Structure 1
Amino acid sequence: MIIVHDYPFRMVEHAWFNILMRYMNASYKFIGRKKIRAECMKVYLSEKEILKKQLKSVERIILTCDLWTSNQTLSYLAVVAHYIDDDWVMQCRVLNFIELDPPHSGSVIAQAVFECCQEWKIEDKIMTITMDNASSNDNAAKRLMDKIIARKSAKFIPKYFHVRGYYQVFEKIPNTHVQIIDGLQVSEYGNWERMVEACTVYRAAFKEYAEVDAAYKWQPKDEEWALYEKIQPILKSFAEEKQKKKEKNNVMVITTILDPRFKMKLVDYCFKKMYGKEKGSSEAEEIKSEFFDLYATYEMENRKNEAGNSNEQSSISSRQTSTSMSSLSSGFQSFLEETNSEPSKSELTSYLEDKTHPILDPKFSVVDWWRLNAHRYPIMAKMAKKFLTIPATSVSSESTFSTSGRILDDYRSSLSPNMVEALVCASNYIKGSKENQLKPTIVVEDGNDDDVEFIPFPEDTTESN
């Protein structure tokens, strides 16, 4: 209760808390804050071991991380893992919430994240990491990628590793406005200059919205609009130069293709809207080619796994049939080998050619769809299980800061960093665990006019975020 609801340890020493406990159980014995603190640490360590065992069966893990400064003026690094479990449920767990001493350079952040992965024994399972846009984060992602590459994992694909979180171009232009423009997620495919250009079209709409909603605080001033107009050409040149030097990461486009409501059709539509018909078609073909190459990698990996699993049975079968096969002509044997190697229609081709799912289906869940259709597209389902977990932002790390902010309030600012990590992580593990979804029965007496509101735990922390 103390962990999940962020209650202070001293609560167990409160007079009326003890009166309540003794009223419900006359044999209840008083315990102090030191005792309950130790019990909370035991719960954290126990839940951590359970999660470690669960992660052993997870093939690929996605990370997000971010930095937070507490009211103690201490910096904490949150490392959060995202994955889809064996039951096709998307999970989100805070692996570490550690104090990070300055300087917060890329090498320091990378080393801290890598040590976290080593502690959890998941360094060979990391697929991508989502971080906010900052030069230190770019450096951290590069150094962390180098560490993973040095392990020579055959399944690691470097070009998809670093996912840059969506961000606000300027303080007054939030992504929520940019993403609705013409149905295009401009921040996903474009750059700062394109976002500013898109928002400028809706300048009047922002002003009207601010007039009808007093809580709306994102309305830029006239001088700020003028500043954006002056900066836009500079941003454009920066974006073009950076694009020349930087390798594209199409991970979010690939994730879009794995949504059965969109597939390649949304990519074709958006690219033509953004680049024009000719260049848009060319860009879409590049994406399609990259997707087919990626599928081929997964298909080859799947064949190796199947070959390894069937080696023993194949050797038995070959011994049993060796006598009968010897009677067949070598010519017919060659014919069998040639025809068996002829390419058939791949899963990917079938998936892309099949009809898209209705886009306005209110009950649609992309994870549930793949769970139900995994038997039809087993290789594609493995791809979906990995790519659909990739978050577009570091909000999962930032939501952890909300929890830590409640734990480290003005009345609990003396907590040690180790205890802060224990409380933050244990709360996350308990709320995300199916075994801890306690749902007590609520009984309302007849004639009771009081409104009763029961707030259950979320099914998982992803839903909470």
Structure 2
Amino acid sequence: MESDADSAASSSNPRTLMEYANSSSTPSPSSHFDSPPHHPHFPSSAPPPLAGLLPSNEFEMLPPCNTITNKKRKRPRTVLGVWNHFTKIEGCDPAELKVACNYCGRHYASDTKKIGASIMKCHLNSCKEYPYNLEYPHQKNVSFKDRKDDEYVGQVKAFNKEACKAACARMIIKDGLPFTLVEGEGFKEFCVELCPEFDPPSSKVIARDVYQLYLEEKKKLQSFFMNNNVMVSLTTDTWTSIQNINYMVLTAHFVDSDWIPQKKILNFCQIANDKGETIGKLIESCLIEWHIERFFTITMDNAKTNDVAIAYLRGKLKNWKNGCVLEGEFLHMQCCAHIMNLIVTDVLNEQNNLIDLIRKAVKYVRSCPSKLLEFMACAWKEKIEFKKLLTLDVSIRWDSTYLMLEAACKFENAFNRMEEEDKQYVSYFGDVTPQPSDWKKARVLVQFLKIFYDITLIFSSSLKVNSNLFFIEFAKIEKLLLDWMVDKDATLSGMASNMKVKLHKYWGSIEKINKLFFVAHVLDPRFKLSFIEFAIDKLYPQEVSEKILQGVKDTLYRLFEFYVASSTPADTQTLNGVQPTNEVNSSCAHGEEKGIMWEFKRRKMDSSYHKKNEVDRYLMELEEDKDNAFFNVLDWWKLNSTKYKVLSLLARDVLAIPLSTVASESAFNFGGRILDPFRSSLTPKIVEALICSQNWLRSIPLPFHICAYDDCFELCQDVEKGISGNGSSSPWTPMLTFD
């Protein structure tokens, strides 16, 4: 009773915080006072609005408002979503549960079974005390991003609902996401936390926005082709949906005015059949739709139907003004990656028994974790150093077969030890395990596959120009095969002879190869004509080499004359000569002795030099350093475009010619290209809109046929290892990274 009286007295005459601080640290019962009751209208995290109107010594009398009751309660449990902004009122009728807004103190019923949280969400959108509700509609927030996005660092932006919807549509396009993503519960919850003002659109609305964005971007690209009169090189490829609907993709390749290579998917349209005339007519209609009146080459797979399509286009384009270079004589470019695939396919089919034997050994090791641990123990005992483990191949991708064989050959001794220690391994093979002769053949096969693997990566590169590299890689193959054919190793020489036959089977004689491959090499200032002269003299008889060299020169001069005739006067005003430059040899300027470089520069300034055309002057100049790893052929032509005004235009268009119809991620694929289930479920127009607009909007093109989960296995293992904290292992314990 005494305590209650003291408490009541204390409550009726509360002391300020200053008085309490000056009192004893252990107050007597008579001086003890309870915490004042919580105020229902003011948050505890900030002073109440009347703080500025009260005396400083009375500010402490204002009660906090974490709760609505007089009883001291525990810290509320953190709840996701809208519950973070409300506090449950304790002591009320259990049948009528209520909550209070943490910002304005307004009460709402909170029976989730009857009412739900929607009423609380609506209150937050209109609560004047909620700090994330902008008082002024045009008020802006400052957003900060990573340093790599310098253009967005410290950007000031105001909330814009339409801009958010447009960004959502771009996200769907760029990342290849399904339209139903915006209706997912998790996505909506994420949007509430990220930006409560944004209400995600429905899947129908986002699909409409995506298609509208595609039409807008298409109009911009059409205007670009119409106004810039760009010379493009085309590639075609065929695709199939899981409903067996056939599509043709048409892609334009060119180098823009800033000397940056561009790759734009123009159409991904349904095609009735694979007849050559049908393909030709479809390509013609696409060119007309895009207002493209000039194109250089078209790269297609080796097929008779494509030959018919080329003949159709060649006949139609002759009537276009400057639409076809030299009447389409060099219109058809062979797809180098496709030819590499044909050669490798034949070789692998002949070595199928050997590959199956090694694949079976790898499959046994990968069959279960215990077998993998046993194999790793064998590798550790054999002192085999490695960073990657065995990996199984995919039947339709020969690059995976090459990588499987390459990895397996490194573990030959481990397989031999497993054969000695594991009886199940022997019984699994039926007493026919890989023998030393099999491993020897496998290593020889890996040598050949590595050549074609590296070259295919170069030929199918889509991030930079590569037509200037064709002859170098082709000459490498020819020289290696000639050397291996005379090797003392019968296995190596036999396989090389077989490969040589297949190379000529699919490529034909060198005289029949499109001369633009060689012209592109000549237009690389590191090589010009010198490497071609040297290589063909080494690889072919004299009469053949002379014929090839003369054909390359004739083609280069004919192309230059065509560009002179079709160029504007501004481009040709210096064709017959250039004004002498004010170049002065630095040695002479300092009074030093005249050297060979001074003599060379004097010859350049001779009048006879300036009377030559751009091709002659280009070939007379010294070659660039071949060992410069940072050399960029487009940058060189950009810097010298004023010196070679017309020849630079020719170089820009020739270097833009693609060597492959597909990018490197699908260049090794034996099978046909099939759309994923999501895109296969859409109408052809929407499929075209998604694929084309993704190519136009992304800064780095995303392969729309590659599974998004290819690298997830290694990622998941890294996450599991990090969570478990198991960083130690025995010397032979496998790190399960099957790259």
TM-score normalized with structure 2 length: 0.45
Distance across 2 between alignment mates of 1:203 and 1:6: 51
**Aligned CA distance change for structure 1 residues 262 and 71 (closer, same or farther; 3 Å):** same
CA shift for structure 1 position 401: 13
Letter in 2 for 1:11: L
Choose the corresponding residue for 1:66, options 217, 237, 241.
237
Distance across 2 between alignment mates of 1:400 and 1:95: 20
Distance across 1 between alignment mates of 2:231 and 2:547: 32
Instruction: Note if contact 1:80-1:397 (Cα within 8 Å) is conserved in structure 2.
Output: no
Give % identity. 28
Q: Write out per-residue CA displacement over residues 353-379 of structure 1, whole angstroms, 9 at most, x where no aligned residue.
A: 111111111111111110111111111
Distance across 2 between alignment mates of 1:272 and 1:176: 26
**Aligned CA distance change for structure 1 residues 163 and 175 (closer, same or farther; 3 Å):** farther
Letter in 1 for 2:451: H
Query: Is the counterpart of residue 153 in structure 1 residue 418 in structure 2?
Result: no
Instruction: Note if contact 2:239-2:674 (Cα within 8 Å) is conserved in structure 1.
Output: no
Instruction: Note if contact 2:479-2:539 (Cα within 8 Å) is conserved in structure 1.
Output: no
Q: Which residue of 1 aligns with 2:345?
A: 171
**Aligned CA distance change for structure 1 residues 120 and 159 (closer, same or farther; 3 Å):** same
Instruction: Note if contact 2:231-2:294 (Cα within 8 Å) is conserved in structure 1.
Output: yes
Q: Which residue of 1 aligns with 2:520?
A: 255
Q: Which residue of 1 aligns with 2:301?
A: 132
CA shift for structure 1 position 92: 0.4
Q: Which residue of 1 aligns with 2:551?
A: 286
Q: Which residue of 2 aligns with 1:87?
A: 258
Of Structure 1 and Structure 2, which has the larger fraction of its residues in helix?
A: 1
Distance across 2 between alignment mates of 1:401 and 1:121: 34
Distance across 1 between alignment mates of 2:251 and 2:211: 20
**Aligned CA distance change for structure 1 residues 41 and 72 (closer, same or farther; 3 Å):** same
CA RMSD, 1 decimal: 4.2
CA shift for structure 1 position 278: 4.9
For the pair shown, the structure with the greater C-alpha radius of gyration is 2
Matches within 5 A, 1:59-458: 59-102=230-273, 104-122=274-292, 124-151=293-320, 153=322, 156-157=325-326, 158-166=328-336, 167-168=339-340, 169-171=343-345, 177=451, 185=471, 188=474, 201=485, 229=498, 232=501, 239=508, 249-302=514-567, 344-396=611-663, 408-411=675-678, 413-432=680-699
Instruction: Note if contact 1:62-1:389 (Cα within 8 Å) is conserved in structure 2.
Output: yes
Q: Write out per-residue CA displacement over residues 63-87 of structure 1, whole angstroms, 9 at most, x where no aligned residue.
A: 0001112223221101000111111
CA shift for structure 1 position 233: 9.4
Q: Write out per-residue CA displacement over residues 382-437 of structure 1, whole angstroms, 9 at most, x where no aligned residue.
A: 111111100111125986999xx999533553111111110000000001499xxx
**Aligned CA distance change for structure 1 residues 380 and 185 (closer, same or farther; 3 Å):** closer
CA shift for structure 1 position 125: 1.0
Instruction: Note if contact 1:63-1:130 (Cα within 8 Å) is conserved in structure 2.
Output: yes
Listed as ranges, the gaps of 5+ residues in structure 1 are 209-221, 309-339, 435-449, 451-465
Distance across 1 between alignment mates of 2:618 and 2:502: 42
Give the number of the structure with larger relative contact order, counting CA–CA contacts within 8 Å between residues 6 or more apart.
Answer: 1
Instruction: Note if contact 1:58-1:83 (Cα within 8 Å) is conserved in structure 2.
Output: no
Letter in 2 for 1:417: P
Distance across 2 between alignment mates of 1:237 and 1:267: 22
Letter in 2 for 1:136: T
Distance across 2 between alignment mates of 1:126 and 1:372: 25
Partner of 1:97, secondary structure, is strand
Distance across 2 between alignment mates of 1:368 and 1:238: 32
Instruction: Note if contact 1:132-1:164 (Cα within 8 Å) is conserved in structure 2.
Output: yes
Instruction: Note if contact 1:64-1:80 (Cα within 8 Å) is conserved in structure 2.
Output: yes
**Aligned CA distance change for structure 1 residues 162 and 281 (closer, same or farther; 3 Å):** same
**Aligned CA distance change for structure 1 residues 355 and 234 (closer, same or farther; 3 Å):** closer
**Aligned CA distance change for structure 1 residues 412 and 203 (closer, same or farther; 3 Å):** farther
TM-score normalized with structure 1 length: 0.70
Partner of 2:243, secondary structure, is coil
Instruction: Tell which deviates more after alignment, 292-301 or 48-57.
Output: 292-301
Instruction: Note if contact 2:527-2:623 (Cα within 8 Å) is conserved in structure 1.
Output: yes
Distance across 2 between alignment mates of 1:106 and 1:145: 13
Letter in 1 for 2:649: K
**Aligned CA distance change for structure 1 residues 31 and 203 (closer, same or farther; 3 Å):** farther
**Aligned CA distance change for structure 1 residues 6 and 175 (closer, same or farther; 3 Å):** same
Q: Which residue of 2 aligns with 1:36?
A: 206
Instruction: Note if contact 2:250-2:266 (Cα within 8 Å) is conserved in structure 1.
Output: yes
Letter in 2 for 1:286: G
Distance across 1 between alignment mates of 2:525 and 2:499: 42
